[in-house]
Amino acid sequence: DDPDWRLAVRRTLVEALLERLATDARLGLDAAARSIGVAYEKRTIFFALAPIGTPDAASSSVTSTDLDIAPTMLARAVDLTAGPASPADMAEQLYQLWYDRAQAFIEGDWAPYPLYEVRRRHNGRQRFARGPIQEFAAAQVSLAEAMAYVVAANRPSQADQIRALMDTLARERRIYDEALQAQHIFSQLHVTEATILRLWLIMLGESSEIET
Secondary structure, 3-state, the chain: CCCCHHHHHHHHHHHHHHHHHHHHHHHHHHHHHHHHHHHHHHHHHHHHHCCCCCCCCCCCCECCCCCCCCHHHHHHHHCCCCCCCCHHHHHHHHHHHHHHHHCCECCCCCCCCCHHHHHHHHHHHHHHCCHHHHHHHHHHHHHHHHHHHHHHHHCHHHHHHHHHHHHHHHHHHHHHHHHCCCCHHHHHHHHHHHHHHHHHHHHCCCCCCCCC
Quote the pLDDT of residue 151: 93
User: Which pLDDT score, from 0 to 100, does residue 57 have?
Assistant: 46
pTM over 0.75: no
Residues of the chain with pLDDT under 50: 21-22, 25, 27, 49-51, 53, 57-58, 60, 62-73, 76, 78, 80-81, 180
Distance CA 32, CA 36 (A): 6
The pLDDT score that the predictor gives to residue 190 is 86
| pLDDT, position 200 | 87
Residue ranges of the domains in the chain? 5-203
pLDDT for 91-111, tens place per residue?
898 899 899 889 989 999 999
